[in-house]
Amino acid sequence: MTDSIVKTLDSVGNAPYFVVALLVLMALTAILTQKNLIKICIAVAILGSSVNLFLVLLGYRDGGSIPIYYLKGAEKGMVLPTPQCLTLTAIVIALATTALMLSLIILIHKHYGTLNIDEIRRLRG
Amino acid sequence: MKRTIFVVAVIVLAGLLSGTFEAIHPFGVPSDTAMDDYILQHAPRDRSAQNVVTSMVFDFRGFDTLGEAAVLFTALCSIGALFRDGGKQE
Amino acid sequence: MKPLSVIVTSVCDVFAWFMIVFGVYVINNGHNTPGGGFQGGAIVATFLSFLLVAYGGRRFLSWVREGLYGFLEFVGLMAFFIFGCVGFPNSFFYNSLAIPEGGAPLSNWIPWSGTISLMNIAVGCEVVGALSLVIVYMYSSIRLVDTGAGMGGERGHDRFDR
């Protein structure tokens, strides 16, 4: 396990995957340990962003340009367009989800007067 | 107690994630690019689209984008329904 | 939400309209530059948050017409669906208005990309309506919690009643 981490850190080529794993772990830790609903919402947004980053990284091709023929540089190949398309869809859906989550948090704050999930559970009885 | 369980779960998940570094393809060398190469060749030729990503979003996967717009509309309807009573009490 | 000082409102007068122009540019050039309907619509929707932050809640709610944004949303969704139905002899969302090229793509010529640019405009209208209505709804919900009833300006700066 540690050997693979060391190998990943040695070869700079796979460092983006390591960044993605780090972001996922940070977001999961925040979701599981934080008490504030706003912080949990931010952590969910970070989790979604890290998954989007992972999707885009999967489609990168070495020395590729953007998949637009009108703005293409001197490179030969292009990066894969399918993960970028799926990421575009996922970003909009994450936006809608975040708006709905924040609205529910506003209603919870109006009803209970607090954002601490332990206090909310205790107030509910 | 509960926090200890959470920390243990996160450590186990870190182990699983580091295990996947063995299986994943190296960065910059995608494993299977047949579909993307087909789209990169045929999007400007058959559909006359310079931007391949936009061509995929609105043409090849247009039904997906219709569902995406429906999701946005549904979220808007949910927010409107949640705040409909609160907005008129004043 | 109280209005901010005259500096903020002056900057808002300049930049809010700039954001609309820039967003419409991104929407209309979505078929050959990075961007498109969703991104440009999100840029245009920042216009209302500019107005809300700079001018305060009461003037904001007196300016906003919710029917306009609902109409934009409706028109965008229906136009998107109809442009999808244009390609029906082949398949749903087939780009049947496009002029296919014979050979390799030309790099220095901007082609007519068929229904893609039309769908960019339709989706842009839809996203502008949806995000602006989300901002209006969420603000009108926190208006009840807002205890600051006074309509004065920012404390410690030049005050002017609006």
Q: What string of DSSP letters covers C45-77?
A: THHHHHHHHHH-HHHHHHH--HHHHHHHHHHHH
pLDDT range class, residue C160, cuts 50, 70, 90:
very low
Q: Which residue would you say has higher pLDDT here, B90 or A33?
A: A33
Please say if the pLDDT value at position C132 is more than 70.
Answer: yes
Give percent above pLDDT 70 in chain B.
93
Interface test with B, best of A68, A98, A105, A117 (most B CBs within 10 A): A68
Q: Which of A102-106, B29-33, C42-46 has the lowest mean pLDDT?
A: B29-33
Q: Is C130 on the interface with B (CB under 8 A)?
A: yes
A92 contacts on C by Cβ (under 8 Å) = 38, 127
* Cβ within 8 Å of residue A96, ≥6 positions away: B71, B72, B74, B75, B76
Instruction: Give, as one character, the DSSP assignment of residue C144.
Output: T
pLDDT range class, residue A121, cuts 50, 70, 90:
confident
CATH architecture for residues A2-117: Orthogonal Bundle (1.10)
Segment C114-120 shows an average pLDDT of 86
A·C CB contacts under 8 A: 34
**What was the pLDDT predicted at B10?**
83
**What was the pLDDT predicted at C60?**
87
pLDDT range class, residue C110, cuts 50, 70, 90:
low
Segment A74-93 shows an average pLDDT of 89
pLDDT range class, residue B4, cuts 50, 70, 90:
confident
Give percent above pLDDT 90 in chain B.
17
Nearest to C80 among B53, B69, B75 (CB): B69
pTM (predicted TM-score) = 0.82
Give percent above pLDDT 90 in chain A.
41
**What was the pLDDT predicted at A8?**
53
pLDDT range class, residue C127, cuts 50, 70, 90:
very high
Q: Which of B49-58, B81-90, C90-99 has the lowest mean pLDDT?
A: B81-90
Please say if the pLDDT value at position A78 is more than 90.
Answer: no
- Amino acid of residue A85: C
- Structure-token pair, residue B23: 């299986």
Interface test with C, best of A71, A76, A91, A92 (most C CBs within 10 A): A92
Q: Is A67 on the interface with B (CB under 8 A)?
A: yes
Domain ranges of chain B: 2-88
**What was the pLDDT predicted at C156?**
42
CB B50 within 8 A of CB C31: yes
pLDDT range class, residue A91, cuts 50, 70, 90:
very high
How close, in Å, is residue A6 to chain C by CA atoms?
Answer: 37
B53, C5, C29, C85, C89 from B64: Cα distances, Å: 14, 45, 22, 14, 19
CB-facing half-sphere around the CA of A83: CA atoms within 13 A: 18
Segment C14-35 shows an average pLDDT of 89
Nearest to C107 among A66, A72, A88 (CB): A72
Tens-place pLDDT, residues C51-83: 998 988 888 888 888 899 999 999 999 999 998
